[in-house]
Structure 1
Amino acid sequence: MSSHYLDVAVGLSYTFLAVSLLCSATREAIASLFQTRAKVLLDGVLTMLHESSAKPRVRGIVPSILRLFRRQGGFRLDRLGAKSLTAEVMRHPLISGMAQRGRLPSYIPSAIFARAFVATLTSKYGKGKTAAALLDSVGNEGLTRTLLAIMGEGPDDAAALENAVRIWYDTVMERISGWYKRRSQFVLFLIGLFYACVMNIDALQLSQRLWSDSALTAQLVQKAEAAKPAVLPPAALEQVRQAKAQSQELLGLPIGWPSSRFESVSGTAAFLAALAFALMGWVATAFAASLGSPFWFDGIGWLLALRGTGAKPAAETTAPPTVVVTLPSLRK
């Protein structure tokens, strides 16, 4: 026998799933349009090459607009100066050839970056030199000590330097990817809070409505049973279409303005109290959206299994479907 508590939980989870999909589509569209991943990758290279003090030079609203319209100078490599090793390496044909004109790649394989790094040094300071001599010519003490420490007591040639750069690049980019994921989750929270306020997606009020309206709860449970995991398409225009489709899906839920929370409110104190509860509901919705759609897909599946109305198991001859949906990283 199904429990009303589980039905309400499934209905809420389905609503949060729809909101998280809308927020994810919006964030992906923004990241694609403004080339956020490429910008974060550039910040990572600056950190890796011990030039992080130059990060403020490549930031700002103007370069973001230039990147939006695919104009030259959107990444402000010229602001790094003529002596910047980062600018020289990122302009190398091995790297610039991986992206369209006016853009930078959002992902660079470590082997390609290491080869571009060593090729930049050898073309500038001469071939046949030892790795220590090449690094001393750069004049970056932090970078020199880091790469020589990775090389250890082994060979002191260009091949050993290239291998050390590849190791250091993978290490730094793993940390940058983790930072980008945490930043993406915060952006998801802000986008979720925006949609929650604009569309009045009040988690507290919605839970009360689902508790008192069994027909509505049953309708959302049916939709949850039919929900299927989906990976968002990478193209920016497709992300916009996905966001529009999800917003239409949300319009069919018991949300929106005017809110019944403010209908019978009279007096300033009562209005402020209602507003405080509304803010709590909006923040709860934004937090739920920041958890991501994979979390709510798994949650719905677990609740439906607990409820005893989950999907039928696959035939023995068919392997069970595996859906992996992860937060976007720099390697896309």
Structure 2
Amino acid sequence: MTLQDIADHLGVSKFAVSRALAGKDGVSPTTRQRIADTAVELGYSRPVDVAPAQPIIQIVFAEHDPVNSELWMQMQNGIQGEAAAAGFQVQTHWAPDAERVGAIAGISAGFILVGQHSAETVEAFRRSGQAMVRLGWVSPLEQTDQVSGADHEAGNAVGQYLIARGHRRIAFVHGSRVLRGRMERLFGLREAALACAGTRISEIQFSPANPFAEAFLNLSVDGELPTALFCSHDSLGVFVVSELHRLGYSVPDDVSVIGYGDFAAATQISPMLTTLRLPGTDMGIAAFRTVMDRLDPSRRQLPPQRLMLVPELIERDSVANLAP
């Protein structure tokens, strides 16, 4: 007779059974008594002289993403710090396929999924019945808890910041339309422009077939190019500053550039990037606490929630003030 047998008999998680029989918190008094009664009924005998293992939270990263690696490391640090304080182990996995999910679930109290996982992988984790939260964007109405940055709000704030400094021709620079967070920043930027007549928002979506320099110069209208570029992340901002210099433009005298993330690269160029700082460590902490909430049986059936943490605008030297 095993803990899993008891869990299957009652329709609860193995983690709940382990906590109840070890006399630890995390289960309600009613559930604890049901588990204890069932253990006696089924003849379960708890192993002796073996210290109970710490419950495990799994951090599951999507495919390696060099753009977000610094942010993911911050998130992992936040998760691990909270887990250690709460008496949990943390294990990490990279891009497991749906077949591996069952093996991971069998030793887990809950999951934190980081990045853009396939729908099949997400569904496999959901079917496991364990507590789960996603760090990153989810599908519309997806029945999963989510922790993210306030992307739409951030884009709106950048728009207001640039408009207040006299910029009326602004472009959003990115490489792909498939990432929801980046598109939300574009939507927020456009929303800010609606409140200021005469402000024009353009989009530079470049690729190997449509290089940045060509895409930027093609935005010329009556000889006028954008005076400010909002880049979807700091690494891209660094690249854009380099390309503008190569084309003979001065930053910020000719073109202002603003990034997103406040990663190390933002301070390793001249001029240093004005950007928005993402609270990566705090996002990890919030994700772990959300999993802990779901381990409380009284909160397990509550509707999924969306928790957005607010970035901070970091002013440096890459944005010019054109206001009179």
What is the TM-score with the length of structure 1 in the denominator?
A: 0.27
**Larger radius of gyration, structure 1 or 2?**
1
Higher RCO (CA < 8 A, seq sep 6+)? 1
What is the TM-score with the length of structure 2 in the denominator?
A: 0.28
- Which has more helix, going by share of residues? 1
